[in-house]
Amino acid sequence: MIKKEEIQSKILQAAQEVFTKYGYGKTTMDDIAKAMGKGKSTIYYYFTSKEDIFKAVVEKEFLLMKTTILTEIAAKEDPREQLKIYVVERMHGLKRLKDLYHILRTEFIAHHEFVEQFRQQTDQEEINIVTGILNTGVERNIFYLEDTFLTSIAIVTALKGMEIPLLITETDGDSLLEQRLDRLLDVLFFGIIKR
Amino acid sequence: MIKKEEIQSKILQAAQEVFTKYGYGKTTMDDIAKAMGKGKSTIYYYFTSKEDIFKAVVEKEFLLMKTTILTEIAAKEDPREQLKIYVVERMHGLKRLKDLYHILRTEFIAHHEFVEQFRQQTDQEEINIVTGILNTGVERNIFYLEDTFLTSIAIVTALKGMEIPLLITETDGDSLLEQRLDRLLDVLFFGIIKR
DNA sequence: TAATTTTGGACCGTTTTAGTCTAATAGTCG
DNA sequence: CGACTATTAGACTAAAACGGTCCAAAATTA
């Protein structure tokens, strides 16, 4: 019974591959089936519809991004470092999920109920993460903030609205990345977070 | 009556856009029509079928590559320079037309008669270009060759067979490009062309 | 204005699509 | 092994999308 999730994961992997390749409308169920080397009935044994699969792909990827962020954050002590990691991982995640995002914004927008609910949910989760970091910082007298919740909303919204992934290239060395991030954080949050 | 070719060119441009985006099988005539902002009948007024349009796109692009090469070559005197230009432009052309090439090799291969005939024709034209360059070089005692025709075939075939576009990146400066090309020509044609 | 070119979009027969059904196979466990 | 369940391929269906046609209207030209 351990295989069940393995196969499900394989389907999602194959689906993500063809979705990002063809877009939502242009991919057929047979495309997905072929990409994973199995028949269509295998897919329908685990999922109820194409829509269902796409939603699962999106949720899987964003869950992965969230857990990655949380794990990395947990490994750091200093809230300043934690905030930096949140920004870095958020940017890398956005870059990796660019195609899925694009489908959500353009093709899948017809399913507004899902898109809207998903957006709200992920926003809420991210705000919670950042609020947690900020609260710790305030407790330890590292950040001096009047309202950590409102500040979190500002940070999350700022990161969403800006095409920040473009600022960081894959060939950037670590040191360059560090410099840019420090500058970025200064620009973004100067006056909100004083250190 | 001058507009006629303009519209035809617009159709081909839109078609190329969606063909390289979706591939041959996944693009619909409505996709093309939508991409150029006109109805389907406009397309069928100028072209007879989807197949017809794709062939026209391919032929247009390869004609462009050919005339570009010929123009650049005509601007140079030294056959060594001309040969170098041929290699450079051929590489850049291949890189730009990567998607079309891929469709030809994978999806359009069912129309073997067209693909094969087109391949032979373009090969022939390229061999003629290179033969012209080599002949001039021999006449001026710059190249010492026994058979310019066979040498041309060797050069054209070598360029086709190798994934040469990968050797040159867009960020290469001119001097680096020059160095690499000299090295490449040495490796490719050492023993065939002595200077 | 009259003739001609160009266009949108309804339309048609055919193919492809998402999704269903079934019968066969693979895997599990006593 | 043998009874049971989980998994699978692929035939099938109704609906949608497809390439391509057609024609009346609009735009252009003369």
Same domain, A7 and A82: no
Residue A195: inside a domain, yes or no?
no
Residue appearing with tokens 């001096």: A144
Same domain, A65 and A9: no
Supply the pLDDT for residue B88: 78
- Using a pLDDT cut of 90, give the percent of chain B over it: 31
Residue B10: inside a domain, yes or no?
yes
Residue B77: inside a domain, yes or no?
yes
Task: State the pLDDT confidence band at B39, using cuts at 50, 70 and 90.
Answer: confident
A180 touches chain B (CB under 8 A): no
Supply the pLDDT for residue A70: 94
Supply the pLDDT for residue A184: 53
Supply the pLDDT for residue A149: 82
**Distance in angstroms (rounded) separating the CA atoms of residues A63 and A61:** 5
- Is the per-residue pLDDT at B146 higher than 80? no
Residues of B in Cβ contact (< 8 Å) with A26? 22, 26
Residue B194: inside a domain, yes or no?
no
Residue A173: inside a domain, yes or no?
yes
Same domain, B27 and B74: no
CATH value at residue B112: 1.10.357.10
Same domain, A18 and A7: yes
Same domain, B61 and B43: no
Same domain, B17 and B103: no
Strand D contact with B26 (CB < 7 A): no
Supply the pLDDT for residue A80: 83
Residues of B 34-63 whose CB lies less than 7 Å from any atom of strand C: 37-42, 45
Which tokens is A27 given? 């991919």
- Judge if ipTM > 0.85: no
Same domain, A86 and A159: yes
**Mean pLDDT in consecutive groups of 10 residues from the start of chain A, 195 residues:** 71 93 92 90 91 93 92 92 84 80 83 86 90 90 78 76 42 49 53 46
Question: Looking at residues B164-183, what average pLDDT do you find?
Answer: 47
Same domain, A95 and A9: no
Q: Please state, rounded to an integer, the average pLDDT across all residues of chain B.
A: 79
Residue B195: inside a domain, yes or no?
no
CATH value at residue B15: 1.10.10.60
**Distance in angstroms (rounded) separating the CA atoms of residues A166 and A173:** 15
Same domain, B11 and B97: no
In terms of residue numbers, what domain contains B167?
A: 51-189
Same domain, A80 and A3: no
- Is the per-residue pLDDT at B143 higher than 70? yes
| CA–C1' A50–C30 (A) | 39
List the single residue in A with minimal CA-CA distance to B20. A22
Strand C contact with A45 (CB < 7 A): no
Task: State the pLDDT confidence band at B170, using cuts at 50, 70 and 90.
Answer: very low
Alpha-helical (H) ranges within chain B are 3-22, 29-36, 40-46, 50-74, 79-96, 98-106, 112-139, 148-161, 174-189
| Number of structural domains found in chain A | 2
Same domain, B71 and B113: yes
- Of the candidate ranges A2-11, A15-24, B36-45, B61-70, the one whose mean pLDDT is the lowest: A2-11
Residue A107: inside a domain, yes or no?
yes
**Distance in angstroms (rounded) separating the CA atoms of residues B131 and B153:** 9
Same domain, B141 and B73: yes
